[in-house]
């Protein structure tokens, strides 16, 4: 089988190795499609992922495939099942796990981060991490289950109420998923702030009520006009840069919740507008990975309630992983897949 290893220092190497044999409690998967995540981009540049990375390792934690072998003791799955992988594996015994905060696990492992993942033709994972997709669902869509699960956790943290006005800052893959989830959560209006015209068009296609280019002269005035001079009840920042965070505070209504969803660069800082927090009585929240939300993501994808196809823009082979990483960082992509 072919596997693309990350060696560190922005270097990959394609290697041939034996197809893994299922161990007790595991399944072997013929990988099909794996998304390039912003976390992969951070790891590529030497920054940490959701857990510490020790090259050489096969990255890729957003993926789907077909089960080819079951290990001893595996129940509830069969050879031939179409599955997606929940990459995060929690210890279950640390204080965070025992107190219902497993995403803060002190010993978290992650498929495609600390152990070999989706940028290979085959993978072996604990059976508990494999969630079954409906067979009629395209496997490319199944590869989006993990980012969707993270978005669901973010939406839970945002606590959108029926009738709220929601502003999503950033129209990449995550922003376009959050836009749809905000609508499903009962938002009366969803606004998307995005400088890229292609992404604004996608946002309107996927149900945004209003889009603005934050770099355009008078953008804030247009936004405030649209929101009757008030701003949004919930602002979700998912662009990961200083300007986006600054605009999130500008877009927030009095009493609003600001969810900082994006994965920032290590060491990134922002001067908190303390008087705004005080005067507007703002609630500021973070969100991390996808505790207990992956099954809900699979249910949404299986149901067809979330549109995935418009978000997928480019596809590469395992031999082209550096090109796939570069394309994911480019302005003309939304979501890049690597096909095994």
pTM metric for this prediction: 0.97
Q: Where in the chain is the domain with CATH 3.40.50.720?
A: 151-286
What pLDDT, in 10s, does the model give residues 31-41? 999 999 999 99
CATH of domain 2-144+308-339: 3.90.180.10
- Give catalytic residues, as residue numbers: 39, 42
What pLDDT, in 10s, does the model give residues 134-156? 999 999 999 999 999 999 999 99
Can you say how many angstroms the Cα of residue 97 is from the centroid of all Cα atoms in its chain? Answer: 22
pLDDT at 87: 98
**pLDDT, the chain, mean:** 97
pLDDT at 47: 85
pLDDT at 52: 87
Q: Which CATH architecture has domain 151-286?
A: 3-Layer(aba) Sandwich (3.40)
**Cα 336 to Cα 199: distance, rounded to the nearest angstrom:** 14
φ/ψ of 233, rounded to 5, equals -70, -35
Residues of the chain with pLDDT > 70, as a percent, come to 100
Q: Where in the chain is the domain with CATH 3.90.180.10?
A: 2-144+308-339
What pairing do the DSSP bridges indicate for beta strands 232-237 and 252-260? Answer: parallel
Q: Which residue has the tokens 């939300």?
A: 293
Mean pLDDT computed over 6-11: 96
């Amino acid at each position: 089988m072919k596997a693309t290893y990350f060696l560190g220092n922005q270097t990959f190497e394609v290697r041939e190795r034996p197809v893994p044999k299922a161990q007790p409690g595991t399944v072997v998967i013929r990988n099909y499609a794996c998304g390039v995540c912003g976390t992969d981009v951070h790891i590529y540049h030497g920054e940490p992922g959701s857990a510490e990375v020790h090259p050489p390792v096969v990255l890729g934690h957003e993926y789907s495939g077909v089960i080819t072998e079951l290990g001893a003791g595996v129940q509830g799955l069969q050879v031939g099942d179409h599955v997606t992988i929940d990459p995060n594996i929690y210890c279950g015994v640390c204080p965070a796990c025992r107190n219902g905060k497993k995403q803060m696990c002190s010993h978290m492992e992650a498929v495609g981060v600390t152990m070999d993942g989706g940028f290979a033709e085959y993978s072996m994972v604990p059976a508990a991490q494999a969630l079954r997709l409906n067979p009629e669902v395209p496997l490319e869509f199944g590869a989006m289950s993990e980012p969707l699960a993270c978005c669901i956790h973010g939406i839970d943290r945002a606590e959108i109420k029926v009738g709220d006005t929601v502003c999503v800052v950033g129209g990449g893959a995550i922003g376009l998923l959050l836009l749809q989830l905000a609508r499903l959560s009962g938002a009366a209006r969803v606004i998307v702030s995005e400088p890229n015209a292609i992404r604004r068009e996608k946002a309107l296609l996927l149900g945004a009520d209003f889009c603005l280019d934050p770099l355009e002269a008078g953008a804030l005035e247009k936004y405030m006009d649209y929101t009757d001079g008030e701003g949004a009840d919930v602002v979700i920042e998912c662009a990961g840069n200083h300007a986006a965070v600054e605009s999130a505070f500008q877009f927030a209504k009095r009493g609003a919740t600001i969810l900082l969803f994006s994965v920032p660069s290590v060491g990134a800082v922002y001067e908190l507008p303390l008087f705004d927090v005080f005067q507007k009585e703002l609630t500021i929240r973070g969100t991390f990975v996808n505790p207990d939300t992956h099954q809900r993501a699979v249910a949404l994808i299986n149901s067809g309630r979330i549109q995935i196809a418009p978000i997928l823009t480019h596809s590469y082979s395992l031999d082209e992983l550096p090109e796939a990483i570069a394309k994911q960082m480019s302005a003309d992509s939304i979501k890049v897949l690597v096909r095994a």
